[in-house]
Chains A and B, each alone.
Chain A
Amino acid sequence: MDWVTLIPLLPALAFVVLAPLSRAARAKLVPLAVAAVLGSLGLSIAAFLAVWPGGHGEVWQASVTIAHIGDRAITLGLALEPMSAIMLTVVTVVGACVQVYSLGYMHREDRIGWYYAVLSLFTAAMLALVLSDNFLGLFMAWEVMGLCSYLLIGFWHEQEAPRLASIKAFLTTKVGDLGFMLALAVVYAEAGAFDFATVLHHDWTAGTATLVALLMLFAAMGKSAQFPLHVWLPDAMAGPTPASALIHAATMVAAGVFLVVRAFPIFEASGIALTITLWVGLITALLAGLLAMVQHDIKKVLAYSTISQLGFMFIALGAGSSTAALYHLVTHAYFKSLLFLGAGVIIHAAHTQDMRQMGGLAKKLPVTSLAFASGSLALAGIVPFSGFWSKDEILAVLLHEHQYVAFAIALLAAFVTAFYVARLWFRVFTAPTQQEDLHEGHRSMLVPMVVLAVITAVIGFFGPTLGDFLGHEIPWPALGTAAISTVAALGGITLGWYVYGRRTSVVNTQALKQRFPHAYGVLANKYYFDLTYGYFVVGGYTTLARALATFDARVVDGVVNGVAAAWRSLSAAGWTFDGRIVDGAVNGAASAVRAAGDKVRTLQTGSVRSYQTLIAGAVVLLVVWILVKGA
């Protein structure tokens, strides 16, 4: 079964082949990258079938020792077990869809080869991440994904916005990654290894478990864009849309959730860490959902929606169900990548990302609108589309755990979700047409969307099967929860229709803004996070750095120059260097040795004080001697 190694290796090789080539040569080899990810897809399905019917531990494992330190060995390894098998299929299906789609979407870019190279490296890293059998390997893949994310966000780096967005994304997630690094240090100090088996079976005390769990949670909050580290994801939309679909919707941003799932026993050993996770999720799910309501850029709506949905996964984790989190991760990966790919077609057709300038796309883009409908209904949580089932499972877990306040907030977030989905839908697809020249996407773009749309429509029926596969129960939704959540979803859609959908009397949103200026201001300014970070963190650090640079030049170096000047005037001669000083020092050493040799007797006294006197005396002698010679 060592062929499992090929799953991440194929796209990695595609990167290795493409990266060093010239722009033109890379562009010619784009099919190689697509072939590599399709190969990984085939192997992932084979790997999935090898695990089938699942329900128990790993079926294959391989590792390599990369370092020996003292009496410990640091290994990196891959393991195939139910969870990694599911993630492999998700990553390769979405990855393959995105790569095929990009053939059409990116075909006019002259740097398409570089785009595919980075996409391949990203896919390799994500596949390595889900297969990794230890935290160090997971972290390394995690960081490589961050690099790819940076490179793709800044793909159009000649423009200012993508440049700034890319550095913002890298540094914001890096803030979280500090938590990961420190968590690894604690894990190593405590358990003496990084592999899941050793670390998770370690006898964690509540205190240390809490420390590790919170550090990892912090890392996950960065990668999965949870409040207050969410600020990078909306800006990341400056990258090419298919890359957003893969990285900033389906896979990389879910890596934070995946990390917590992997480390879940440590979170359980802590307890308090779970509660904090729950509240991070609740706050994020609701606040990001509210922001999605006021965006005009279609990609920004989807970006805040992603943040909010990732929040739902954190809610599931915090409520103690890693299975529900993973379930939502899977369904979300499919329907959100679908929505992003749909948005790509829409943006190409409408030549704008601003929904206010769109309308009537349903008639002009029939395939896209059908596929988009599948994704929208899933996101809104309408039965039988996938999001309904996984969101319901999260709500059910909250009820089961008697987390009623959390349940209410999550339900509100679900309502908000349905509202912004309806707002988007009615504005883009059914509002009056504002443009005439609208074209459906190329077939290479539509086929992947249809694939994802079908998956989104049917995958929910396999929930219990998925649960069996993972070895945890995923029940069919209880009628009561399902009814409540459906009412919330339909309520949100209805309100959305009422405000944005009716032809006759569209609600004057301008009037609403004027009526609630403060609330609107808070939302329009994204709760002032960006302003605060920009002013205090970035601005503060820049000011501090400049001050320190001045301090360094004037004070630290000033002292040095001052001493030198004093020395110069003492010796009453300029330091015109001619090599004598070197000789002086060496001779000085020799004569000092000789002089000291005579003094050996004195040292037999053994008193510390005399040694100190000797050292001080020697220093004085040498300094004086060099002064004399130097002058």
Chain B
Amino acid sequence: MDFPLLTVIVFLPLLGAAVVALLGNARAVAGRVVAATVAVVDLALVAWLASRFDVDGGMQFVEKLTWVPQVGITYHLAIDGMSLAMVALSALLTVLAIVASWKTEKNPALWFSMLLLLEVGMNGVFVAMDFVLFYVFWELVLVPMYFLIATWGGPRRQYAAVKFFLYTLFGSVFMLVGIIALYLQTGTFNILEMAGAGLDPKFQWWVFAAFFLGFAVKVPVFPLHTWLPDAHVEAPTAASVLLAGVLLKMGSYGFLRISLPILPDAAAEWSTFIAALAAISIVYGAAVAFAQTDMKKLVAYSSVSHMGFVMLGIASMTPEGLNGAVAVMFSHGVVTGMLFFLVGMVYDRTHTRMIAEVSGLSSQVPVAGGLLAFASFASLGLPGLSGFVGEFLSLVGAWASDIPVGWVVLSAIGVLLAAAYMLWLVQRVVLGSPSAAVSGIADLSAREVAVLLPLVALTLIVGLYWDSLLRFTDPAVRSILAMMGGA
């Protein structure tokens, strides 16, 4: 058997988490070095895997071991271009989250080990091809995120953490039911084998509904989104970055990996409904973002809006739309990561997130102000930056599909509304004369710039040369569509 690269990528952070925890708070300095090293090595392994990845090779680096033979549960890992994009995002953002929270003083051993434990779950979800394994990773993610919010969060952290936990758990209960139903019907937990099983459409409809609840809460889709702003506002910066950057994508990944290939007939039936919810999420999220007075809440609601474009692309079930969906997933991780990092860095200095109290960043701290403006333009979908690629392709795909034109046009209006809330933020926070909270603060440190630069670079690379991302996602998308057509 080949070197189990995926297993190492998934479980190396678990080892790291254990070491960091054992070192304890007394040796926290050593602990965070271990954490950073493990995360960097993990990222390097992902890069190494990417360099050996055959873009047209379908599912690769397959590892399959019997786990619970009585019911056919296997330890089954594999990766395709779509999963690779998500794992890369997870590994990169974990490194940056660790570096960004380098100076954590409250219980640092637990903090860094929780970040690494979170990476185990995130990496695992995207490469698990056995339903039970997938579900284990899916739920595993909840635990460290719960602690990250509940321990290091803001004043209402308990409420936000419990709400986050219960809401997503509520969704995953239905997903579990769907998994069981599928197993009972097909006799396997193998996600890939189930695709194209030609299940009865009526049955598909019900299972789709169950999965929909599980995934839609995670994305989140209107009206199941209210856990998100609370979680973001209370979460510490690094947790917000990973929550928005990776955790939300688990939901849309579920649609792409599971709902579409396994339940194609139901997906076709549900597509208009999903497109409608997507369009509503886009416009509703944008409008509510516009009215926010708290920077973090604004970015949180912008996520609802952006993730709407993911759902629109998925609902289109066209090559353009699905590529667009994955591109938005990736870009949103990068750009929103940047935004949350920057809001956090501003908060560290001004001790406020209230938009009304922060102004004139570009005069006082030009690097921070400039990067916040850059991230804002990336977020509002300026062509040449990554945000445009996915939103544009989602719209193009949606237009070419059977989705009613009205929903597509409504979604397009979301692009305008994104410009409105983002520029209105820039207007008040970045431009103008420095406010009392801003005057006297120091600009970004070298460490903070180092956290942001990789994200800036990715935003530009993907925005200018789409194939840097799409060369990985397009073959995966084509195989999803082929599975749907084969049903």
Contact partner, B172, options A185, A560, A585, A608, Cβ 8 Å = A585
| A615 engages B181 (CB within 8 Å) | yes
Cα of A277 to Cα of B380 in the assembled complex, Å: 30
Query: Shortest Cβ distance from B40 into chain A, in angstroms?
Result: 25
The bracket for how many chain B residues form the interface is: 35 or more
Q: In the complex, which residues of chain B have a beta carbon less than 8 angstroms from the beta carbon of A72?
A: 319
Question: Given A144-B383, A622-B177, are A545 and B290 neighbors across the interface (CB < 8 Å)?
Answer: yes
Contact partner, B366, options A23, A542, A545, A614, Cβ 8 Å = A23
Q: Which of B183, B230, B320, B382 has the most CB of A within 10 A?
A: B320
Contact partner, A593, options B183, B377, B398, B474, Cβ 8 Å = B183
| A615 engages B210 (CB within 8 Å) | yes
| A66 engages B467 (CB within 8 Å) | yes
Query: Shortest Cβ distance from B366 into chain A, in angstroms?
Result: 7
Chain A binder among B8-16, B43-51, B347-355, B389-397: B389-397
Q: Mark B352-367, 1 if CB is under 8 A from A, else 0.
A: 0000000010110010
Query: Shortest Cβ distance from A78 into chain B, in angstroms?
Result: 15
Contact partner, A548, options B161, B162, B167, B287, Cβ 8 Å = B287
Cα of A158 to Cα of B427 in the assembled complex, Å: 10
A174 at the interface (CB under 8 A from B): yes
Query: Shortest Cβ distance from A547 into chain B, in angstroms?
Result: 8
A577 at the interface (CB under 8 A from B): yes
Closest residue of chain A to B416, judged by CB?
A: A174
Cα of A556 to Cα of B399 in the assembled complex, Å: 30
| A585 engages B169 (CB within 8 Å) | yes
Interface size on A, residues (CB 8 A): 72
Q: Mark B167-183, 1 if CB is under 8 A from A, else 0.
A: 10100111011001101
Closest residue of chain A to B202, judged by CB?
A: A608
| B395 engages A181 (CB within 8 Å) | yes
Q: In the complex, which residues of chain A have a beta carbon less than 8 angstroms from the beta carbon of B392?
A: 181, 184
A506 at the interface (CB under 8 A from B): no
Contact partner, A560, options B167, B319, B424, Cβ 8 Å = B167
B58 at the interface (CB under 8 A from A): no
Q: In the complex, which residues of chain B have a beta carbon less than 8 angstroms from the beta carbon of A552?
A: 226, 284, 288
Q: Which of A70, A177, A603, A614 has the most CB of B within 10 A?
A: A70
Query: Shortest Cβ distance from B405 into chain A, in angstroms?
Result: 9
Q: Mark A596-613, 1 if CB is under 8 A from B, else 0.
A: 110110010000100110
Q: Mark B63-86, 1 if CB is under 8 A from A, else 0.
A: 000000001000000000000000
Chain B binder among A163-171, A228-236, A249-257, A316-324: A163-171
Question: Given A178-B413, A181-B392, A575-B166, are A68 and B471 neighbors across the interface (CB < 8 Å)?
Answer: yes
Question: Given A70-B320, A575-B166, A599-B184, are A586 and B415 neighbors across the interface (CB < 8 Å)?
Answer: no
| A544 engages B287 (CB within 8 Å) | yes
A438 at the interface (CB under 8 A from B): no
Q: In the complex, which residues of chain A have a beta carbon less than 8 angstroms from the beta carbon of B362?
A: 157
Q: Mark A226-248, 1 if CB is under 8 A from B, else 0.
A: 00000000000000000000000
A570 at the interface (CB under 8 A from B): no
| B419 engages A170 (CB within 8 Å) | yes
Q: In the complex, which residues of chain B have a beta carbon less than 8 angstroms from the beta carbon of A167?
A: 423-424, 427
| A564 engages B320 (CB within 8 Å) | no
| B184 engages A600 (CB within 8 Å) | yes
A530 at the interface (CB under 8 A from B): no
| A70 engages B181 (CB within 8 Å) | no
Query: Shortest Cβ distance from B361 into chain A, in angstroms?
Result: 11
Contact partner, B71, options A182, A541, A597, Cβ 8 Å = A597
Query: Shortest Cβ distance from B297 into chain A, in angstroms?
Result: 9
| A596 engages B184 (CB within 8 Å) | yes
A139 at the interface (CB under 8 A from B): yes
Cα of A512 to Cα of B415 in the assembled complex, Å: 46
| A178 engages B162 (CB within 8 Å) | no
B96 at the interface (CB under 8 A from A): no
Query: Shortest Cβ distance from A157 into chain B, in angstroms?
Result: 4
B457 at the interface (CB under 8 A from A): no
Query: Shortest Cβ distance from B235 into chain A, in angstroms?
Result: 16
Q: Which of B173, B284, B400 has the most CB of A within 10 A?
A: B173
Q: Contacts A143-B384, A615-B181 given; 16 further ones with Cβ under 8 A?
A: A67-B389, A70-B474, A70-B478, A74-B466, A144-B383, A157-B431, A163-B431, A167-B424, A178-B412, A541-B290, A552-B284, A577-B150, A577-B161, A593-B180, A600-B184, A622-B177
**A positions within 8 Å CB-CB of B:** 22-23, 65-70, 72, 74, 139-140, 143-144, 147, 150, 154, 157-158, 163, 167, 170-171, 174-175, 177-178, 181-182, 184-186, 188-189, 541-542, 544-546, 548-549, 552, 556-557, 560, 564, 575, 577, 579, 581-582, 585-586, 588-589, 592-593, 596-597, 599-600, 603, 608, 611-612, 614-615, 618-619, 622-623, 626
The 10 closest A-B pairs by CB, nearest first: A70-B319, A67-B466, A185-B399, A140-B383, A549-B291, A557-B226, A545-B291, A157-B431, A189-B400, A545-B290
